Amino acid sequence: MTDDVQAPNGDTSTGDMLAAMGKAAVFTPADFDRLLETGLPQAHRAGIRTREMGHGSITLTMPVSEDFLRPGGTVSGPTMFALADVALYGAVLSRAGHIVLAVTSNMTITFLRRPPARPLVAHARIVRMGRSLAYGEVTLYSEGEDDPVAHATGTYAIPRG
Amino acid sequence: MTDDVQAPNGDTSTGDMLAAMGKAAVFTPADFDRLLETGLPQAHRAGIRTREMGHGSITLTMPVSEDFLRPGGTVSGPTMFALADVALYGAVLSRAGHIVLAVTSNMTITFLRRPPARPLVAHARIVRMGRSLAYGEVTLYSEGEDDPVAHATGTYAIPRG
Amino acid sequence: MTDDVQAPNGDTSTGDMLAAMGKAAVFTPADFDRLLETGLPQAHRAGIRTREMGHGSITLTMPVSEDFLRPGGTVSGPTMFALADVALYGAVLSRAGHIVLAVTSNMTITFLRRPPARPLVAHARIVRMGRSLAYGEVTLYSEGEDDPVAHATGTYAIPRG
Amino acid sequence: MTDDVQAPNGDTSTGDMLAAMGKAAVFTPADFDRLLETGLPQAHRAGIRTREMGHGSITLTMPVSEDFLRPGGTVSGPTMFALADVALYGAVLSRAGHIVLAVTSNMTITFLRRPPARPLVAHARIVRMGRSLAYGEVTLYSEGEDDPVAHATGTYAIPRG
């Protein structure tokens, strides 16, 4: 996430819902899916959904889509990057327990092997949650396979509110 | 580019054109735009175009689009990553002088400041072209502004043919 | 490790011992400590020792030393990088089960918090062992503390013999 | 630099000199060499010297030394990382025009080719100097050769004083 989730554009319905969600004591997979739907519609339209969530960890899935395939039927790198980025954001929220404004500061991704044209699974976990920076790692798998297709690490900046 | 540009899927029209392009002594901006149109249609539909090209360097532009904006009117990180990835690939081809099969091995991107909702400009250059690995850097700007919005480095693997 | 462990400089005693070690069916912590002593003397002199080793994982420790401290009594970044680099190499060997010639291709390290002037502990694990590239991650801790001080990921190239 | 240059350890002579240097309107190569001598003695003992400095750029040189060589006569990766880290710090100071307290936040380094046992040259430049983060890149060369041996990018955090 390279931008504040909450749009400073006078969109009160989103703001109201986000505020209400922010009051939840525990952040759930359903919470994150709703957040994607309203705050990151592109990710939602891509079919990204939350499979499970822990305290500082999250698992997302993303189906295969013609839009994200390269010739030869493999998932594109930018698609994997986008999934890793959203997953890391989800891990930050799962650790915080509520919605926080956070922007991606940097990310490193290594593509380990060519993924087949199958759904992707992303496991993200927070390595360290600082006061203003959250750092974590994401492992991407092809659904049903143990051999990872990509791995990423990244830092999210959490602006002081 | 995380996949062979040339699809092993029996698409002869693309294969023919690619082969013909491969015979060109010099790789031009128009060549790369044609390659995006047939080999990376998602990048082409996003409006990515080649502004200029040197030997081991390239400048691409990408217009603003609703699809790539976050709430608040800023360009998303994955969009910037995708542009940087394509730009680095273009720099590899500009250095090789013809189409090569190359896949992204890894990339690191740092988001320096929030880009406004304006076209992006990507300058990519090859730092070193090895026998099987090409490494380069990409600087992303907001059209008309000198202060970069992001910077990336990455490695492309060039499989031995 | 950015260089072949085995020096092509006519040092037969090292070569003999390395060859003998290479025949071992399982690579042990003592094996790695011996390898550091002869092949990476700077690391050995720094006091880096192997605490434990698994299949594709390793734990190293490094004592505090005046040479590696910055004013203020903290461990320097390059020192942490060096430890992470050696640890990742150890993880590669633990996965291979014997000595392999491997060179560091790239590494990314994030410094999470200022480490106190205490021994460092490095946990390294292989994320994926390819045919010519090994990729893994390393977490650095201050002895006795759960809050990591640094985290790194890196790729080792394994030249075909 | 992963630590405050100025040691909070009551060392008044260093503090006095640093304060005096801080008053200089322009930061010179001689200033940086003096800073290394007092603040980063390990770098100074390694023979790192400033060749030239611009506004946001710096060139450092480092001689060959037995301590930093791997078997086979090549420079070790951690040695190159250390040089790149110091060079980036120098670039930060050259941009600020005076000594600033800055700590390395993260660095990515790619080893491009095996360097011969010759002096290293490091060119560092600031890509963007933010209010609290400075980001730049460093290219490492073997003295007298145009083909780079390594390339790095990194972020320095500049604590608010």
**Per-residue H/E/C for chain A:** CCCCCCCCCCCHHHHHHHHHHHCCCCCCHHHHHHHHHHHCHHHHHCCCEEEEEECCEEEEEECCCHHHEECCCEECHHHHHHHHHHHHHHHHHHHHCCCCCCEEEEEEEEECCCCCCCCEEEEEEEEEECCCEEEEEEEEEECCCCCCCEEEEEEEECCCC
What pLDDT does residue A26 have? 78
Closest CA to C115 of C158, C159, C147, C156: C147
Q: Average pLDDT, stretch D41-45? A: 91
- Residue C48: pLDDT above 70? yes
Task: Give the pLDDT mean for C131-157.
Answer: 97
Q: pLDDT band for C1, please (50, 70, 90 cuts).
A: low
- In the numeric block, which tokens belong to residue C23? 């025949």
Tell me the C-alpha distance between B50 and B48, whole Å.
Answer: 7
**Who contacts B138 (Cβ-Cβ below 8 Å, separation ≥6)?**
B84, B87, B88, B91, B122, B123, B124, B125, B151, B152, B153, B154
The C-alpha angle with vertex D150 and arms to D121 and C149, in degrees rounded to 5, equals 105
Partner D contacted by B112 (CB < 8 A): yes
Asked whether the predicted pLDDT for residue D113 surpasses 80, the reply is yes
In single-letter form, the type of residue at position B47 comes to G
Q: With residue B41 as reference, give the H or E element that holds it.
A: helix B41-45
Interface probe with B: pick from A75, A81, A85, A156, most Cβ of B within 10 Å: A81
Chain B residue numbers touching D147 (CB-CB < 8 A): 128
**What percent of chain C has a predicted confidence (pLDDT) above 70?**
79
Q: What is the DSSP letter of C68?
A: G
At residue A106, the pLDDT reads 98
Task: Say whether residue B75 is in contact with chain A using an 8 A CB cutoff.
Answer: yes
Length of chain A: 161
C neighbours by CB contacts (3+ pairs under 8 Å):
A, B, D
Nearest-CA distance C13 → chain B (Å): 34
User: pLDDT of A5-14, one tens digit each?
Assistant: 333 333 334 4
How does DSSP assign B85-115, residue by residue?
HHHHHHHHHHHHTS----EEEEEEEEE-SPP
Measured distance CA(A127)–CA(B44) in Å, rounded:
37
Which amino acid type is present at position B125?
Answer: R
What number is the ipTM of this complex? 0.85
Nearest of D151, D42, B112, A107 to residue C110 by alpha carbon: A107
A105, A107, A135, A155: which to substitute to probe chain B, counting the most B Cβ within 10 Å? A107
With contact defined as beta carbons under 8 Å apart, do C124 and C84 qualify? yes
Tell me the mean pLDDT in the region D137-146.
97
Which residues in chain B have their CB less than 8 angstroms from residue D130's CB? 112-113
pLDDT in tens, C29-45: 999 999 999 999 889 99
pLDDT of residue B117: 86
The pLDDT score that the predictor gives to residue D11 is: 36
For C52-108, how does the pLDDT look when each residue is reduced to its tens digit (9 = 90+)? 999 999 999 999 876 666 666 678 999 999 999 999 999 999 999 999 999 999 999
Print burial letters for D61-87: b (CB count within 10 Å at least 16), e (below 16): bbebeeebbbbebbbbbbbbbbbbbbb
Range A105-122 average pLDDT: 96
- Would you place residue C18 in the very low, low, confident or very high pLDDT band (cuts 50, 70, 90)? low
For residue B26, pLDDT beyond 80: no
B98-134 pLDDT, tens digit per residue, is 999 999 999 999 999 999 889 999 999 999 999 999 9
Task: Tell me what pLDDT residue C117 has.
Answer: 87
DSSP β-bridge partners for residue C136: C126, C154
CB-nearest partner of B2 from A70, A103, A107: A70
Neighbours of A, requiring at least 3 CB pairs below 8 Å, are B, C, D
In chain C, what is the straight-line distance between the N-terminal and C-terminal CA atoms, in Å?
17
| Residue-level pLDDT at B78 | 95
Taking the Cβ of residue C132 and every Cβ of chain B, the question of whether any pair is shorter than 8 Å is answered with no
Chains interfacing with B (3 or more CB pairs < 8 Å): A, C, D
- pTM of this prediction? 0.88
| Among B110, B135, B148, beta carbon nearest to D110 | B135
The least confident of A81-85, B142-146, C10-14 is: C10-14
In sequence order, what are the residues at sequence separation of 6 or more whose Cβ sits closer than 8 angstroms to the Cβ of residue C90? C32, C50, C53, C58, C60, C124
According to the model, what pLDDT value does residue A42 have?
A: 86
Task: Give the gap in angstroms from C-alpha A109 to the nearest C-alpha of chain C.
Answer: 10
The mean pLDDT value of chain D amounts to 85
The per-residue pLDDT for range D73-110, each reduced to its tens digit, is 678 999 999 999 999 999 999 999 999 999 999 999 99
Distance set, CA B130 to CA B13, B30, C123, D76 (Å): 31, 26, 32, 20
Helix (H) or strand (E) holding C26: none
Close Cβ partners of A87 (under 8 Å, ≥ 6 residues apart)? A58, A59, A60, A122, A123, A124, A138
